[in-house]
Amino acid sequence: MPHQDTLYSLPTSTTIGKVILVGAGPGDPDLLTVKAMRLIQQADVIIYDRLVSDEIIALFPPHSQSIFVGKEAGNHCVPQQQINELLVKHALAGKQVIRLKGGDPFIFGRGGEELEALLPFNIPFEVVPGITAASGCAAYAGIPLTHRDHAQSVQFITGHLKQGQDQIDWLSLARAKHTLVFYMGLNQSNVIRHKLSAYGMSLATPIAIIEHGTTAQQRVLTGELAQIETLAKQAISPALIIIGSVTQLSQQLNWFQQQADSITHSNHSQQLCG
């Protein structure tokens, strides 16, 4: 396991390092891009989030320093300002810094904010996109986000809905032939149900909640919009909420679960034969 670092002051090097913002994808290490994997192996420092899976953490090179700055709803292990300071300090110390984020760093990942923090120090940076949770988890659950018979568009929405600061266009979201994907929305499932139904979406609209998508712990809960709160209480974070008729296709197209069931059945059969 790479060395765990803590917040501390670092000396400024005569040679400025570099910060590389890397998307780790939704969890399955095989979904890392070739470029992401190569840069992780070359890193001096890796600053990573809670949504980076254990399987990907296991790929960190032993020579690198790893710094966990995970955040979850209501519990910020390291405040965003301190994360920004970490990036600056290690880069000014001449290090090649990988800022590793689950999914894609430019989709609800505050990637843009972190790069803006580097600008006053003239620190060079690069961005390596990753597979965002919406496309990765939906694919592994057998849910096509668009489909000619079901949805002609898809929209990604943050589930972090601050009270009194809701700027979401719920009327637009509630229209038909449309797929909605809510990131981090478990704790706001009651708001999602209330708002969508208030603006005309039927409570019978099919939904799916995908927890630990693309990993061996993946579980897909399906139902209707009227049941979203009940299903959300059963789900374990991290989880993604998908709303729309495309979610009905999961029963036929859930290849990942079928594959896992096939392996389990094969192993069971071998044990019985043994």
Residue 177 annotated in active site: no
Q: Which of 53, 132, 117, 131 is nearest to 86 (CA)?
A: 117
The answer to whether 69 and 77 are in contact (CB under 8 A) is yes
Contacts for 144-147: CB closer than 8 Å, 24+ residues apart: 144/246, 144/249, 144/253, 145/179, 145/181, 145/242, 145/246, 146/179, 146/246, 147/246, 147/249
Residue the block writes with tokens 């659950």: 141
Q: Tell me the C-alpha distance between 170 and 87, whole Å.
A: 37
Rounded to whole angstroms, the Cα distance separating 197 from 171 reads 10
- 166 given a catalytic annotation: no
With beta carbons less than 8 A apart as the criterion, state whether 151 and 246 touch.
yes
Give the active site residue among 18, 35, 54, 71: 71
Catalytic entry in 49, 89, 95, 195 = 49
CB 257 within 8 A of CB 220: yes
SS3 101: strand
Q: State the catalytic residues.
A: 49, 71
